[in-house]
């Protein structure tokens, strides 16, 4: 059983591809999520079940900062209700194993602790995309803190039978921060065939000098650094273009970003959730994808870029260098370095042949990753079951 409360976006897409890969190994898998999932399974043994009363990110629209903050209060209550429904359903279904996708708020691990006391026959696990929760309302570049949150998360981590992360640095962070009793395994992030959907894209060498920033606009993703860098790029390549596409985070001043984009020129700003049917066209037009994060554990955007054969210019933070190998699948720069970011972007915009070579190498790197991830998950769950049997649980 995979649980991802959001029915679309990067975490849902990750859970979907992992579920498909597990089912391809002969496992029977269900993904429990919210309404109108953006992907439907055709893999025998894998079912996507929209049984949780959450919301679809495509329903968000673009609103003022005040509206977005006010909406958070309402959705907090909605999320608590969704966790209540989830807990009741888990107790009724009693699955062999439950793998959560991520916890962000203190009440979520509290539910996990409560469920663990009642669901003793199930193996409980977590795919910790972001082991240490970050604020998504004020400054997304900083970690959440507080005695209640720390106690809740540590208690839940210590109830887990197994945990998974997406890189060795993230594993060290999780182990140091939460001191779990269970093993923590590293699994790779693979390609996104569900998002691509068989759509063809033009060769990188045939693209115009276009840079794509894709995903939620947030401080920690360095969107302000990217704008500063692109101003430098335009000074050298006036014909270059930057596309900003994605939902707007609560810590972003949208009018300020749009005003800055207008001052620079050749910035195509598209605030708002990008429907899955519109993703391929964005990557089709791009020569390079920018991931200028100030902090990160991993990035689904980089893997999505590789899915479409596009090279990535990325900050060397977290576990990003594990998948974006400098001058093999992309270019790495220091975080918060507008000059270095601009130089790397200019290099690939001026050299479509190099961009094509790096993009092809990235596409090759992620092709078989889900098979590896599914094998490790299956082995880890089997080991957890064996450990339970030895303890007499």
For every residue of 325-355, DSSP letters joined together read: -BTTTEEEE-TT-HHHHHHHHHHHHH-HHHH
Token pair in block for residue 130: 């972001």
Going from the C-alpha of 113 to that of each of 50, 56, 105, 110, the distances in angstroms are 24, 27, 14, 5
If you search the block for the tokens 């920033």, which residue do you land on? 213
Query: What are 298-357's pLDDT values in tens digits?
Result: 889 999 999 999 999 999 999 999 999 999 999 999 999 999 999 999 999 999 999 999
Residue 92 main-chain phi, psi, to 5 deg: -75, -40
Q: What's the rounded Cα separation, in Å, for the pair 83 and 96?
A: 19
Q: What's the rounded Cα separation, in Å, for the pair 317 and 340?
A: 14
Q: Looking at the chain, how many residues does it have?
A: 393
**From first to last of its 393 residues, what are the pLDDT tens digits of the chain?**
999 999 999 999 999 999 999 999 999 999 999 999 999 999 999 999 999 999 876 545 555 556 555 666 677 889 999 999 999 999 999 999 999 998 999 999 999 999 999 998 899 999 999 999 876 665 666 778 889 999 999 999 999 999 999 999 999 999 999 999 999 999 999 999 999 998 999 999 999 999 999 999 988 999 999 999 999 999 999 999 999 999 988 888 899 999 999 999 999 999 999 999 999 999 999 999 999 999 888 889 999 999 999 999 999 999 999 999 999 999 999 999 999 999 999 999 999 999 999 999 999 999 999 999 999 999 999 999 998 877 765
Give the strand pairing for 29-32 and 2-3.
parallel
Going from the C-alpha of 191 to that of each of 98, 255, 305, 373, the distances in angstroms are 23, 34, 9, 12
pLDDT at position 142: 73
Give the strand pairing for 241-246 and 210-214.
parallel
Token pair in block for residue 64: 């003022």
Token pair in block for residue 176: 């140091």
Closest CA to 16 of 7, 202, 57, 59: 7
Token pair in block for residue 240: 């270059």
Token pair in block for residue 228: 């500063």
Closest CA to 63 of 260, 248, 221: 248
Token pair in block for residue 377: 């998950």
Q: What's the rounded Cα separation, in Å, for the pair 56 and 108?
A: 19
* Residue 289: strand, helix, or coil: strand
Those residues whose C-beta lies under 8 Å from the C-beta of residue 52, and which sit 6 or more positions away, are 5, 32, 33, 34, 82, 85, 86
Q: What is the CA radius of gyration of the chain?
A: 21
Q: What's the rounded Cα separation, in Å, for the pair 77 and 242?
A: 38
Tell me if 2-191+369-391 shares its fold with 197-366: yes
User: Domain limits of the chain?
Assistant: 2-191+369-391, 197-366
Classify domain 2-191+369-391 by CATH architecture: 3-Layer(aba) Sandwich (3.40)
Q: What's the rounded Cα separation, in Å, for the pair 246 and 301?
A: 11
| Largest interatomic CA distance in the chain | 69
Closest CA to 243 of 268, 224, 265: 268
pTM of the model: 0.93
Query: What are 171-218's pLDDT values in tens digits?
Result: 999 999 999 999 999 999 999 999 999 899 999 999 999 999 999 998
Q: What's the rounded Cα separation, in Å, for the pair 91 and 250?
A: 35
Q: Domain 197-366 in CATH: superfamily?
A: Glycogen Phosphorylase B; (3.40.50.2000)
């Amino acid at each position: 059983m995979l649980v991802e409360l959001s029915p679309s976006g990067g975490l849902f897409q990750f859970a979907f591809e992992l579920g498909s890969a597990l089912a391809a190994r002969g496992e029977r898998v269900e993904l429990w999520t919210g309404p109108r999932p953006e992907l439907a399974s055709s893999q025998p043994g894998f079912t996507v079940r929209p049984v949780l009363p959450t919301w679809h990110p495509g329903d968000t629209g673009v609103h003022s900062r005040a509206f977005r903050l006010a909406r958070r209060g309402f959705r907090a209550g909605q999320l608590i209700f969704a966790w209540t429904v989830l807990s009741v359903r888990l107790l009724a279904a009693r699955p062999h194993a439950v793998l959560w996708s991520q916890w962000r708020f203190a009440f979520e691990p509290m539910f996990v602790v409560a469920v663990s006391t009642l669901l003793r026959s199930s193996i409980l696990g977590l795919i910790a995309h972001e082991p240490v929760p970050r604020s998504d309302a004020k400054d997304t570049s900083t970690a959440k803190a507080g005695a209640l949150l720390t106690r809740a998360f540590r208690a839940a981590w210590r109830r887990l039978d197994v945990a998974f992360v997406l890189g060795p640095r993230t594993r060290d962070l999780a182990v140091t921060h939460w001191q779990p009793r269970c093993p923590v395994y590293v699994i790779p992030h693979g390609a996104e065939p569900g998002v691509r959907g068989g759509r063809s894209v033009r060769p990188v060498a045939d693209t115009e000098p276009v840079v794509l920033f894709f995903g939620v606009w947030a401080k920690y993703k360095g969107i302000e650094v990217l704008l500063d860098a692109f101003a430098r790029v335009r000074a050298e390549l006036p014909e270059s273009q930057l596309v900003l596409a994605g939902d707007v985070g609560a810590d972003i001043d949208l009018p300020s970003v749009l005003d800055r984009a207008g001052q620079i020129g050749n910035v195509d700003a598209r605030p708002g959730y990008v429907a899955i049917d519109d993703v391929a066209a964005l990557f089709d037009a791009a020569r390079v994808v920018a991931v200028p994060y100030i902090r990160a554990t991993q990035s689904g955007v980089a893997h999505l870029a590789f899915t479409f054969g596009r090279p990535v210019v990325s900050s060397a933070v977290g576990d990003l260098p594990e998948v974006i190998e400098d001058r093999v699948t992309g270019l790495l720069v220091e975080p918060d370095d507008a000059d270095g970011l601009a130089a790397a972007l200019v290099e690939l915009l001026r050299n479509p042949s190099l961009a094509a070579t790096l993009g092809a190498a990235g596409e090759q790197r992620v092709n078989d990753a889900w098979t590896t991830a599914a094998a490790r998950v299956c082995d880890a769950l089997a080991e957890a079951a064996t450990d339970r049997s030895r303890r007499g649980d």
